[in-house]
Every structure is written in structure tokens, then in C-alpha cells.
A and B are shown apart, each in its own frame.
Chain A
């Protein structure tokens, strides 16, 4: 019961954030210095999303810079419709797609174990290492549409409602698709260890 109450409170918080987000956007449109709040709120999420898409820290940083600079430039023309987050991530996604077309670089996570070590996730347990390796392999082979779900949810930390707006789909349907994907991934990982 306590868990449910906490969940509801957090959902309320999300709703409050979305409500005041539009006000922040309006303020930022009038005074670009007010963009600082929006920047602080979303910079890590945008970066993580782009890191998930590029698997390259430098590229993710570069694309994050481009995303926010473009957002600043286009902010005066942004039409406030309650979907600022979706608008921002659309910019990020377009930047990443443009970059991918330009350099034709692989935009999935690398299989190298060094990457895990570089992110301070050194697991001593051999089984866990093997399991992660398998998981990475599965991620590499994952269809684009499924990987996008993971990137939005895990990297960008979007709620299902936000994912729905971004993907132009119903939030509930996105939620179902996401959990079905998780189940499939779990099954594949478990199956590989049996």
C-alpha cells in the first residue's frame, strides 16, 4: 500500500513538472536566460539517449551540444503544446540520424567489455559478466524499433506518456509494447544460460 502511494505521488510530481514546464518554456521564449532550468532538467536525459544511440561518448556530447544549441535557436518558434520534451528529443533524434547518415557509423552498443569497465560497472562475478555479454549481443541484434523503446525508457528516462507523445502513439500501447519487449529479452537471456 505504501508503495502504491509513493507511485501516485511521483506521478503527480511528473504531472506538476509538465504543467510548470510550459510556463518555463514561455518564460524562456521571452527571456532566453530562463532556458537554464529546462537545460538543467533535460541535459542528462538527452545525453544518455544519444549515448544509447551512438555508443560513443564524444559523439553523444557533440550531438547533445548540437541539440541544445538548435533548441535555443528554435525556441522562439516553438509552439507551446505541452510536449516540449517530445520536441526536444525530436531534435536530438534528428541530429543523431543526420550524423548517422553523414558518417554511416554503427549506432548500437559495442560488444567490448572495456566499455562496461569504463562505466565503472566492473562485476566480479563471471556469470554476471557472461550474462551481460549475452545481453549486449542481443541488443546489437535488436530491431531498431525495439532499441528505440529501450533508449527512450532507460536512457532518456521518459514516462510511457512521454514516450507516447514522442512516438505519436498511445502511452498505454507503448507501455504494453515495452513490457512485451522486456519479457522477450528476459526469455532470450535466460534461454542462453540454460
Chain B
């Protein structure tokens, strides 16, 4: 017996152990699998990576082209704004106030809006402080017949830059100004003294020149701003029905 040649008993053992060589088909098949494994599809991956890199480049270029401040503003518009102590809030919830009191002066009259704010639910504008010393040339006594005409000239509107007009809604204010709009024009009518109004009735001056437009600019309150917001519980007053006299 030597190291390399099995003797008869060893051959007998081999047979008893059921030993046999692997089939040529298996050997060849495994050879292919081991030596030539299927190559991963590298073609798709670079395409995905290229697309991703191109997207990042485009976004970077757009970021600098549009301007970081504008991008930040846009992101804020999407996501809301951070208020200290409150956290992120949606823009519709962000309170905006009048930048400065707005004043309009015309000959014989001066109208000032001291404060205003627009919030999620409504826009509230302080009653105008007005001083109209001009004489009233044309006026009407409040009555069922004159109601529509007087209301049409009395109720102010809030006009947005895009032409939309927000109506005063008897709930103490106007509809909220959209978050992306900071400018509006208030259209009001002064209350001139009606010199010949009979005693005991309400009259309304109907002169055309009492219509005044005031530009309002809203801003987000700077940090630290102390706000004085008044809860305007407004009870609409029904038109007086007295018909004692007419103009």
C-alpha cells in the first residue's frame, strides 16, 4: 500500500461509500457558473446616476438663477412659516399687519387708516379717521326705497392687484387676503355732513367725489412686534325705516 494507490480493500470501501464522480454535465454547468457569472447590468445604473446628477445640477443652477431668497420664500410658501414659540404654521395662518398707517389727502378731505390686519379667517380694517369739510351737494334720506342706492355707495370694497374685489361681509371685516398678495386698495366713502338733513332721520351724502381709494400694504410682523388686535364684534344696523320726510 502506498500513498497514492488504493488497495483492494480501499476500493471496496469506495464502492460501499457509494462514491462516484460528478456528471460531466454538472461539472460543465458549474464551470460556467463559477467562471463566467452573469455580469450585473452596469448599463442601467450609470443611466440612473447620470439622471440623478443632471437633476442635481439643474436644481443647483435654478437655485442660484432664481436666487436663494426667492427659493427660501417659495419654500416658506409651500411649507409655512416658523413662528417662535409656535413652530411652523401655514401661510394662510400667518398674520399680516399694515406696514404703516395709510393716509389719503384730497382738497377738503383727509382719510387715515390706522391699522388693519389680515389673517386666516378675515381681513379687518380699522374704521377710517376722516375729515371731510366739503359741502354735500346731493343726499338721500334712508328709506326702503333708497336702501339699495345708499348701500351701493356706502359699502366699501377691498380691491386686490389682480382686479378681484373683496366685499365687506357684515361679520366685521373682509375675506382674508391670499397669502401671496400683500397689497390691496381700500375703497371707502367719506361721511360728509349733510347740511339739510331733517331732524330725526338718517341721511346719506351721495356726491360722487366722496369715493376715496387708499393703498394698503401688509407685512408679516417683525419679531418683537407688539400687536394690538381688537376683536371687532360688529352688529349690522338695519336701515332706518322712518319715512317722515324726504329730500
A residues with CB within 8 A of B? 7, 10-11, 14, 32-33, 35-36, 39-40, 43-44, 47-48, 51-52, 55, 60-61, 64-65, 68-69, 72, 109-110, 115-116, 119-121, 131-132, 135-136, 139, 150-151, 153-155, 159-160, 175, 179, 182, 185-186
Contact = CB atoms under 8 A, between A and B. Distances in A.
Interface string B9-50: 110111111111110001100110111010000000000000
A161 B235 CA distance: 109
B8 to A, nearest CB: 10
B2 interface: yes
Given A39-B34, A116-B15, A121-B15, A186 B9 contact: yes
Given A36-B35, A159-B4, A182-B10, A115 B27 contact: no
A109 B33 contact: no
Contacts of A68: 30, 34
Given A52-B19, A121-B15, A61 B26 contact: yes
Contacts of B239: none
B34 A154 contact: no
Contacts, number: 104
A186 B1 CA distance: 14
A73 B4 CA distance: 32
Interface of B: 1-4, 6, 9-10, 12-22, 26-27, 30-31, 33-35, 37
Contacts of B14: 154-155
B141 to A, nearest CB: 101
Nearest to B22: A47
28 contacts: A7-B3, A14-B4, A32-B35, A35-B35, A36-B35, A44-B21, A44-B22, A47-B22, A47-B26, A48-B22, A55-B18, A60-B22, A61-B26, A68-B30, A68-B34, A116-B15, A119-B15, A119-B20, A120-B20, A131-B12, A132-B16, A135-B12, A150-B17, A154-B10, A154-B13, A154-B14, A159-B4, A185-B9
A160 B22 contact: no
A159 B3 CA distance: 6
A120 to B, nearest CB: 8
A36 B20 contact: no
A11 B2 CA distance: 10
Given A39-B35, A159-B4, 8 more contacts: A14-B4, A52-B17, A61-B26, A64-B26, A68-B34, A69-B34, A132-B16, A185-B9
Nearest to A71: B34
Query: Would you list the 7 A-B pairs with minimal beta carbon distance, nearest first?
Result: A47-B22, A135-B16, A119-B20, A68-B34, A115-B18, A7-B2, A121-B15
A113 to B, nearest CB: 11
A69 B10 CA distance: 31
A96 to B, nearest CB: 15
B17 A64 contact: no
Please indicate which of the listed interface residues B13, B18, B26 has the most CB atoms of chain A within 10 Å of its own CB: B18
